[in-house]
Amino acid sequence: MVDRRTYFRRGLALVVLKYAGDAALVAIAIRRWWTPAHYLDSIYLLYSTFWTQAPAWLLPVLMLWTLPFLWIGIRMTMERAEDAGLSPWFALGFLLPYANYLVMLTLCVLPSAPRDVRGEPSVPRPTGDRLPNALLAIVISTIAGVLMIAISVQWLKQYGVGLFFFVPFAIGAVGSYIVNRGRNATMGQTAQVTFATLFLGSIVAVALAREGLICIIMAMPLLISVALLGAAFGRSIARNRDQGPLPAVITLMVLPVAILLEPAHATGRMRHEVRSAMVIDAPADRIWPHVVAFRPIAEPTDLLSRAGIAYPRYVRIEGAGVGAMRYCVFSTGTFVETVTVWEPGRRLTFDVTAAPPPLRELSPYRDVHPPHLDGYLRSRRGEFRLVPLPGGRTRLEGSSWYELEMAPEGYWQLFSDLLIHRIHRRVFDHIKREVDADAQADGPRTIEEAAAARLKASPSVGWGRSASLSGERR
């Protein structure tokens, strides 16, 4: 048990440690000091003052740094709630936005309760009748999880922390509590029920055409990790105190509240940059025409592409100079891009004005289109830079800027960065092959000659429908 003074002192120590770690990571990443007042700032202000300068690794590392504090906090809150005579399920309020401050303040004030009002220890029963309870736990938790997907995704159009953290934690806790209440189930047996719940929930979501397999596979490492934490929490409650079924039922009823309480605009404000580079054994003026537009790339045969992840096919351009329209055709549709910087042989920058879905979902149904395919990953800008190197070589650099509207953002950023790097690599490899092929054929060496040759070779596709791809600027 944890009394109120111990809860306050340990909590304060954890807050100081967490802040010190946050401040150190931010200082290392962007050379700026993170103050306690920044926790109260709006997401937009934090984005404009800090995150625009942050490297790609900062957000995922901050997320990993936070996880142990969440677990320690909820365990300590559970013990303090029991000491105060409250149900240990009260500790789930520690995970609720806004409500968590009220929960912690309440537990810092409430005195310890007499021992006779803290509930009776759980009395283990024989293990032979565990199967019916396991099936009941799986069915109840699965129904709750699918309903939360419907509420969050289909009704609120929201992929937030409530859906990917609080919901799996709560259903893992409830399922574990049902299995372990009055029984000697091991953690391994409890984990089996948790895995079965997630597996069945995924099948139901796909069968009801609410989600596709790709999104579920990407989310599964997070869901499993959080659900197992919840299972450990529920098992601890069941083994220590006989709370009866009512608190678990109330927990399931609180799930929609957790989703509704999530702060508006908690994501989608931060612009991430993915930067890739390749050295090509050719001068910049040979590479430039292939950067502006390129011929069709051979269809990929790798598993990710065949599964439905978008990949680039070719690029065509209409016009030249600033204001030219660039069309980057992907397997899922076309990126429409407006050129904003045109420095032949040096830099090409464009804003993305329209973008296709990032993938086609795997599903037994023909036209499954979950909401996350529309605008939850927004491409904003792209840029190519050509940096001359000794020996007539060139370093081709590419950057893509995008925004996410899925939380926890640090988790989904890992997948987004990986897939965008993969797209960059496919484009760079193709550009290098085209440049090498031109060199072997002793093709044109100036930008003007290369542009003219491309127009002559590929008029039907529309690469470079401009008078020139040279130094013209508008």
Per run of 10 residues, the mean pLDDT along the chain (length 474 residues) is 91 94 89 78 55 75 88 92 89 84 92 70 54 87 90 84 90 92 84 94 88 91 94 89 75 82 60 93 94 93 90 95 96 96 97 94 81 86 96 96 87 91 96 89 55 48 40 40
- Between CA 98 and CA 403 the distance in angstroms is 25
- Between CA 243 and CA 39 the distance in angstroms is 36
For the record, the structure tokens of 76 come out as 């300590």
List, by residue range, all CATH 3.30.530.20 domains of the chain.
271-457
- Between CA 219 and CA 197 the distance in angstroms is 15
pLDDT of residue 210: 80
For the record, the structure tokens of 155 come out as 């009704």
Taking CA 378 as the corner, what is the angle to CA 368 and CA 401, rounded to the nearest 5 degrees?
145
Looking at this protein, which amino acid is placed at residue 174? V
Inter-axis angle of helices 167-180 and 213-240, nearest 10: 40
Which contiguous run of DSSP H or E holds residue 3? none
Is the CB of residue 75 less than 8 Å from the CB of residue 95? no
Q: Which CATH class is domain 271-457?
A: alpha beta
Q: What is the DSSP string of 149-217?
A: HIIIIIIS--B-HIIIIIHHHHHHHHHHHHHHTTB---HHHHHHHHHHHHHHHHHHHHHTTS--HHHHH
pLDDT of residue 368: 79
Please name the residues in contact with 433: beta carbons below 8 A apart, sequence gap of 6 or more.
none
pLDDT of residue 271: 83
Q: How many CA atoms lie within 13 A of 159 on its CB side?
A: 21
Please name the residues in contact with 299: beta carbons below 8 A apart, sequence gap of 6 or more.
none
